[in-house]
Chains A and B, each alone.
Chain A
Amino acid sequence: MAPPAPSHPAVSLHDAVALSGRFPLLAGVDLEVAVGETVLVEGPNGAGKTSLLRVCAGLVPLSSGVATVLGLDPISARNQVRRRVGLLSHASHLYDDLTVRENVRFAVRAAGADTGRIAEACDRWGLTGRLLKTSASKLSAGQRRRTALAVLTARWPELWLLDEPHAGLDASAREALDQLVGEAGAAGVTVVIASHETGFAESLAGRAVTLTGGRVTGHRAIGARPQPSGSVGPHASLDSSPDVPDTTPVGPALRPGTGRPAGEVAHVA
């Protein structure tokens, strides 16, 4: 049962500064993501995209500024927040000694999610038959990523934080990922994608935010400006007018023609 559209944004960061020792990962970030939006965070390597997602997941505390995720403080209400947030990071959080199926089961149950969708999620990501019984240490990088995606799909949290999700996936898996994100967006899930390969993630998001040097340095609405392939965001975003509104109405901005696979779209109860 989908909750009524909440009045607060899914993610709200105000002048957020996050430190790792003496190094500022984020140096004053202002960001708002409405519920149900799909936002792309782009920027060069080292800009702080991963740190931004980790702050939203409650893994990194802020040393100054305010962060609100799903209406809660990600540090003081951390367990509540984490159960409703799914982070897909570079590491796949798998236990080498367990099989794929055991890993997925554990991850889903640990997050307090319903185990009913596991079989369907594994199927969707090609984790079938012998692969399910393979110990995680024997998986390739792409297979590990797909396992993590299966966990995310089975959990179906309210907020998805995807860190370079296309990395390590082959073409068919990338398509499957795009489909999944599209589905999620249509179902009211808030998705934040961090990527420096704007070519891939472009079509999924409604708008993009550019991060450089730990701060937000530009916004743009996707579709407003055609991008030459391979160009990175900052050039365009610094040119774009600063009064492009940065909150799109609730609802996904999808490329037309994204089909939904047969079968029901799972909702978080």
Chain B
Amino acid sequence: MSANRGVPAPPLQSRRGRWWTRGIGIAAAVATVCTVWLGLWVTPPDETQGNLVRLVYIHPGVAWVALYLAFGMAAVASLLYLWPRTRSLVWDRLAAAAVEVGVVFNVCTLVSGSIWGKPTWGVWWAWDARLTSTAVLLVLFLGYLALRRVPAEPEVRAKRSAFVALFAAVDIPIVHFSVLWWRTLHQGATVLNANLSPTIHGSMAWTLLLGFVALTLVFVWMLLVRYRIGVLEDWLGTGELDVALRERQAEGAAVGEEEAA
């Protein structure tokens, strides 16, 4: 930690960093608007599912972000933090940001899945493999966030959270397979099924793809913003540390003066 003598200045995000954040934000907004426009107006309703099929433009997208992108990133970042050679609070902040944003996307997954499920399966919730695994993942995410709220020094908190993320990452495949064996109601993957021939065609397929892209961009933008907040929080803490160090050393001098007087 570099000692910041004199008046501490807040770390300005580099110009490149700001440009990227803004750029991605704009791209995300544009892509989302396009998806909404295409999804709600341009593409036709499905033969069997009617207008309900429009949910497919967001549901797999949020699911992909929450399960693979966000959680995967959190797991990898946690591993990087734990590995002594690459240990750096950057990974901890990244993991925490990824989990926070991931929780939002996870809830969206469950909600959009429920909304789609009710008219289709007749129930708000079905205990099939995917839904259950997603629910367990949400609980694990929430546990991670709960642990982070416990007041602790940044390094201690980072280590603890990283371990929880690691254990959760190990558990998720196990949960997934066990629930998969348990029961399966969820339809086979629409785009990524075994023969790799998508069962969704034409403009709908393109909109689906755009939905993926848009949601990924939204995730990245939220991640960048959340990470930036984390940087500022840590900087605030460091400033306090420098003040505390100076006061502590002044303690010694003060005692000396008292005694000499």
1/0 contact trace for A18-56 toward B, CB 8 Å? 011111100110000000000000001001000000000
Contact A22 B250 (CB under 8 A): no
Contact B248 A238 (CB under 8 A): no
B interface residues (Cβ-Cβ under 8 A, vs A) = 1, 152-153, 237, 240-241, 244-245, 248-256, 259-260
Partner of B241, one of A22, A212, A214: A22
Q: Which residue of B lies closest to A217 (CB)?
A: B252
A28 to B248, CA, bound (A): 11
Partner of A217, one of B237, B245, B256: B256
A interface residues (Cβ-Cβ under 8 A, vs B) = 17, 19-24, 27-28, 44, 47, 63-64, 212-215, 217, 234-235, 238
Contact B256 A238 (CB under 8 A): yes
Contact A214 B252 (CB under 8 A): yes
Q: Which 4 A-B pairs have the closest CB atoms?
A: A213-B252, A213-B251, A212-B252, A235-B259
Contact A19 B153 (CB under 8 A): yes
Q: Which residue of A lies closest to B245 (CB)?
A: A24
A214 to B256, CA, bound (A): 13
> Please, could you name 11 A-B residue pairs with CB atoms under 8 Å apart, sorted by A?
A19-B153, A21-B152, A22-B240, A23-B244, A24-B245, A47-B252, A212-B252, A213-B255, A217-B255, A234-B256, A238-B256
A234 partner residues in chain B, CB cutoff 8 A: 255-256, 259
A48 to B254, CA, bound (A): 16
A47 to B255, CA, bound (A): 10
A23 partner residues in chain B, CB cutoff 8 A: 244, 248
A127 to B160, CA, bound (A): 41
A148 to B152, CA, bound (A): 30
Contact A213 B250 (CB under 8 A): yes
A17 to B244, CA, bound (A): 12
Partner of A212, one of B153, B255, B260: B255
A21 partner residues in chain B, CB cutoff 8 A: 152-153
A212 to B258, CA, bound (A): 13
Give chain A nearest CB distance to B28 CB in angstroms.
36
Partner of B248, one of A27, A63, A64, A217: A27
Contact A22 B259 (CB under 8 A): no
Interface centre among B1, B237, B252 (most CB of A within 10 A): B252
B251 partner residues in chain A, CB cutoff 8 A: 212-214
Partner of B259, one of A20, A24, A215, A238: A238
B256 partner residues in chain A, CB cutoff 8 A: 212, 217, 234, 238
Contact B253 A24 (CB under 8 A): no
Q: Contacts A19-B153, A19-B241 given; indicate if A214 touches B248 (C-beta within 8 A).
A: yes
Q: Contacts A24-B244, A63-B1 given; indicate if A238 touches B253 (C-beta within 8 A).
A: no
Give chain A nearest CB distance to B248 CB in angstroms.
5
B253 partner residues in chain A, CB cutoff 8 A: 213
A212 to B196, CA, bound (A): 71
Interface centre among A21, A63, A234 (most CB of B within 10 A): A21
Q: Contacts A19-B241, A21-B153 given; indicate if A213 touches B249 (C-beta within 8 A).
A: yes
A28 to B245, CA, bound (A): 10
B249 partner residues in chain A, CB cutoff 8 A: 27-28, 213-215
A238 partner residues in chain B, CB cutoff 8 A: 256, 259-260
Interface centre among A22, A214, A234 (most CB of B within 10 A): A22
A85 to B250, CA, bound (A): 32
A254 to B76, CA, bound (A): 58
A20 to B253, CA, bound (A): 22
Contact B248 A213 (CB under 8 A): yes
Told that A213-B248, A213-B254 touch, could you supply 19 new A-B pairs with CB distance under 8 A? A21-B152, A22-B240, A23-B244, A24-B241, A24-B245, A24-B248, A27-B248, A63-B1, A64-B1, A212-B252, A212-B256, A214-B248, A214-B249, A215-B249, A215-B252, A234-B255, A234-B256, A238-B259, A238-B260
A47 partner residues in chain B, CB cutoff 8 A: 252
A17 partner residues in chain B, CB cutoff 8 A: 245
B252 partner residues in chain A, CB cutoff 8 A: 47, 212-215, 217
Give chain B nearest CB distance to A42 CB in angstroms.
12
Partner of B255, one of A22, A24, A44: A44
A19 partner residues in chain B, CB cutoff 8 A: 153, 241
